[in-house]
Structure 1
Amino acid sequence: MTQNLRVPLTLLSGLSPGLGRRLADTLRAGGPGTAVVHHDLRQVTSGVVRRRLWLDRRDELIALELAHGCVSCTLREDLLPLVRRLAGTPGVRRIVVWLDEAMEPEPVSWALRHVLVGDRPVIEDVDLEAVVTVVDRDTWFDAATGDDVLAERGLAASPDDERTLAQVALSQVEFADVVVLGGDLDTDTGDGTDAWRAARTAAVLDRVAPAAARLDLTDLDAETVRAAVPANARRGEVTDQHGPLLLGEPPLHPDCGIALLTFTAQRPFHPQRLHEAIDVLLDGVVRTRGRAWVASQPDVAFWIESAGGGLGIGHAGPWLAAPDGPAWDEVSAERRTLASLRWHPVFGDRAQELVVVTHTATPEEIDAALTGALLTDAELAAGPEAWRDYPDPFGEWHADPCAGSDGDPDRRDVNVRNGKDESR
């Protein structure tokens, strides 16, 4: 199917169902033939999903019974086939997929491109023109810096869903091409927005989603949303964990207590000291993302990611310099460029590269803790044979039950901590 025959598709995400509905209605009013699809996952753990479809005067609500209640089976068994049918329906000019508040747009984008429906992916029928996330300035900052898991808020997307509210809040805005800001629709005093909380929210967004356009929900129309999508927007493209950690140009100076730290080093972490130091990323930190080199496992890159009071560590595949590493022509141009810029004559592309956004913690204390976890000069001189014998708390890896089907097939998490050290 040629590019110009594909139906434009917008993914809409956000933690606030009220603001999401308001923005979905705005996009639906953008012209006749706009179909809006929404899956309500509040009963998904019981195997029931409520799907609503709006198309011109049509308003259809049905309950779906799924054999395995989870986001992945909702995508595979209903959403993807439905999007394909809508794309082939005469009169449908645009499709808006309004995601349940517990859903992240990145795995949905991955599924559109990689999950086969019949003999081909759905992306051949639609043109993903924008990912839009709506943010409630009254509540988003607390969600993004807290340690509540989704299940505690009644938002679990499967029986095994252990994600935190912060993880979802941050992943939704980080993947967005456009962020739409609104206030609490349930208050009786204007939009109810506290100026200080709104300012801190804006400061976090400046640092975790600097490339996204920013709009206000007030008096917004569909054409304004479409026009705001940056020319270089990712439009749902999923990048690997060896790509750039900073998209756009985030401010480097602190604002409203929000600061950005980029930690880099070309010597490995001691596994035991890293395990002890990692808790510094759980207190007063909004977000951590990045790659790490651990001395006891020199051939694999670690992926470290924190959101609010939760943290996970996983494998991000081999380094280019590893014996079983990928060939240069098998990786992205961005990864080749980054590797070339930091290539070490002995260690190759192995390096530490973490981006940390803080709110009550200081960049200085985090930098000091991570620096203290690096090998000393004497340990570095002992060489890789000695490093492999270090006690390694990261030695036993297990797969997340939903990994692979949620759009990140190679990622494996271990030692996930929420609010305090719960590792074994």
Structure 2
Amino acid sequence: MLGLVSGNTPESRGRVLDLLRLASPDALVLSVSVHGGGAGRYPFVQRLVAGGDEQQPASLSQAATGDPAVIIRQDLDTIARTATSPHVVLALPDNVDAVSFLAELWRTPLGRTPLSDHYDLAPLAAGVDPGRLLSDLRCVHRSAHVFGDRPQAVPLTVAEAAARLVEAAHMMVVRDGRGEDGSRLEGSRALLAHLNPSAEILLDAGDRDSAPLTTLTRSDSTWAAGGLADRLDPVASVVRRRGIDHGVASVLWRSRRPLHPERLAESLPQVMPAVVRSRGHVWMATHPGTVISWRSAGRHLELREAGRWLEDGDTEGWRAASPQRRTLASWYWDDYYGERRNEILLTGAELDEDRLRAALDAAVLDDRELALGAEHWACLPDPLLGAAAQDPEG
């Protein structure tokens, strides 16, 4: 079995490892650090193997330059063939995007044995220092170089990298926040619950009770079900936590009409100021055939072309889409517009839900504009994405 650990600081990651090793004393830990790799160069990957059972203890440090996923896959292959421990823990640093990295790690190169033949995946546990998290989620003025499904690092804002780490976890262990007042700690915990509603959140009060982490020593059949890469599909349903916790709320906005890019740009000052994190996908009138991914963390919003909408008769596109996306497309299918739709989840403190919805509703095309069709939409001013190639049928 392969367990997974990460953290937004080395100390928070180390604390989860300590608790996990109490829950599974014979676990063998493969700790990874990744450095460099800018300007097209491969990064430097350091690995430390430690632990194991009493009959076969391990302590080994290795370093190599290359594709991190390839190097770690080879390490895990070797461990599977030589170690006797039934539980291996992969400890990832905070500059690795866990979901995209694991999707690449789990991909089977031609002629190689799949890792799934050797390992069942256990849930991913993330250690969280709440003070550092709140600071990072505001940091959009500098970039972090994060490794995922590509050998070279991809620049993300520090805020985006912090949000992705939280969203990847199945369980979060929140440090006791020494020096933090109780209300701030509970506010941080509420924010974590909205950023990742499906995760279990544990407050680490400094005791040595590892019982809650025993679930991390067992495989989770849903983690890799359907393929890890399916979690990266740009059109996926987001999970919303309802209610308001310590002022934190999440608003899910949906629409079946394309967005007018100029009006959307004008609405952003009303939509974004109180939003800590938002994500989803949108249907932009000027790019009718293209899925536009929507991601924001802190005050940085990124809109990016992320593939094509599914069409009737596009056998290759349907085959390449994840099972979840195919199901969603069937649910939301329109005979004329297909799967096209907007879905954005916005999370923040003291959000005015009515104001958010009104601003976004005002940004979609009205009946008159909708009736003019895609050929007219392509001529609309677009300060967000710029002009697209003429593709009225797309």
TM over 0.5: yes
Match of 1:102 among 95, 105, 116: 95
Match of 2:212 among 219, 224, 235: 224
Match of 1:54 among 31, 39, 50: 50
Q: Taking structure 2 as the reference length, what is the TM-score of the superposition? A: 0.82
With over 3 angstroms needed to count, the CA separation of the structure-2 counterparts of 1:61 and 1:206, relative to structure 1, is same
What does 1:315-354 align with in structure 2 at a 5 Å threshold? 315-321=305-311, 324=314, 331-354=321-344
Residue of structure 1 equivalent to 2:345 = 355
Deviation, structure 1 residue 132:
1.0
> Is structure 2 residue 241 aligned with structure 1 residue 250?
yes
> Residue type matched to 1:308 in 2?
G
Identity of matched residues, %: 26
Question: Contact conserved, 2:37 with 2:44, CA < 8 A, in 1?
Answer: yes
Question: Contact conserved, 1:35 with 1:95, CA < 8 A, in 2?
Answer: yes
Residue of structure 1 equivalent to 2:223 = 234
Deviation, structure 1 residue 331:
4.0
Q: Taking structure 1 as the reference length, what is the TM-score of the superposition? A: 0.77
Deviation, structure 1 residue 34:
1.6
Question: Contact conserved, 1:299 with 1:323, CA < 8 A, in 2?
Answer: no
> Residue type matched to 1:214 in 2?
I
With over 3 angstroms needed to count, the CA separation of the structure-2 counterparts of 1:164 and 1:328, relative to structure 1, is closer
> Is structure 2 residue 282 aligned with structure 1 residue 292?
yes
With over 3 angstroms needed to count, the CA separation of the structure-2 counterparts of 1:274 and 1:214, relative to structure 1, is same
* 1:46-75 alpha-carbon deviations (Å, 9 max, x no partner): 95443222124543334x2426xxxxx222
SS of residue matched to 1:335: helix
Residue of structure 2 equivalent to 1:409 = none
Deviation, structure 1 residue 118:
5.4
> Residue type matched to 2:201 in 1?
R
Match of 2:196 among 203, 209, 214: 209
SS of residue matched to 2:137: helix
With over 3 angstroms needed to count, the CA separation of the structure-2 counterparts of 1:156 and 1:172, relative to structure 1, is closer
Residue of structure 2 equivalent to 1:195 = 182
Question: Contact conserved, 2:146 with 2:154, CA < 8 A, in 1?
Answer: yes
Cα distance between partner residues in 1 of 2:209 and 2:36:
32
> Residue type matched to 1:250 in 2?
R
> Is structure 2 residue 112 aligned with structure 1 residue 123?
no
Deviation, structure 1 residue 161:
4.1
Match of 2:375 among 385, 391, 395: 385
Deviation, structure 1 residue 163:
1.1
> Is structure 2 residue 15 aligned with structure 1 residue 37?
no
Q: Which runs of 5+ in 2 are unaligned?
A: 389-394
> Residue type matched to 2:60 in 1?
E
Question: Contact conserved, 2:169 with 2:199, CA < 8 A, in 1?
Answer: yes
> Residue type matched to 1:390 in 2?
L
Deviation, structure 1 residue 169:
1.8
Mean alpha-carbon deviation: is it higher for 224-233 or for 102-111?
224-233
Residue of structure 1 equivalent to 2:65 = 66
> Is structure 2 residue 69 aligned with structure 1 residue 75?
yes
With over 3 angstroms needed to count, the CA separation of the structure-2 counterparts of 1:49 and 1:333, relative to structure 1, is closer
* 1:243-278 alpha-carbon deviations (Å, 9 max, x no partner): 2211xx612x22222111111111111123334434
Q: Aligned Cα RMSD in Å? A: 3.1
How many residue pairs end up in the alignment? 371
Deviation, structure 1 residue 160:
5.9
Residue of structure 2 equivalent to 1:183 = 176
Residue of structure 1 equivalent to 2:130 = 137
Deviation, structure 1 residue 18:
0.6
Cα distance between partner residues in 1 of 2:315 and 2:252:
26
Mean alpha-carbon deviation: is it higher for 284-293 or for 42-51?
42-51
Cα distance between partner residues in 2 of 1:379 and 1:262:
25
Cα distance between partner residues in 1 of 2:211 and 2:314:
49
Cα distance between partner residues in 2 of 1:207 and 1:98:
25
> Residue type matched to 2:89 in 1?
V
SS of residue matched to 2:120: strand
SS of residue matched to 2:223: coil
Cα distance between partner residues in 1 of 2:202 and 2:224:
17
Question: Contact conserved, 2:138 with 2:299, CA < 8 A, in 1?
Answer: yes
> Residue type matched to 2:3 in 1?
T
Mean alpha-carbon deviation: is it higher for 85-94 or for 22-31?
22-31
Question: Contact conserved, 1:14 with 1:133, CA < 8 A, in 2?
Answer: yes
With over 3 angstroms needed to count, the CA separation of the structure-2 counterparts of 1:223 and 1:259, relative to structure 1, is closer
> Residue type matched to 1:243 in 2?
A
Deviation, structure 1 residue 88:
1.5
> Is structure 2 residue 304 aligned with structure 1 residue 305?
no
* 1:288-334 alpha-carbon deviations (Å, 9 max, x no partner): 11111111221222111112222222233222236757565664443
Cα distance between partner residues in 2 of 1:39 and 1:114:
19
SS of residue matched to 1:126: coil
Deviation, structure 1 residue 33:
3.9
Mean alpha-carbon deviation: is it higher for 52-61 or for 121-130?
52-61
SS of residue matched to 1:116: coil
Deviation, structure 1 residue 357:
0.8
Question: Contact conserved, 1:282 with 1:310, CA < 8 A, in 2?
Answer: no
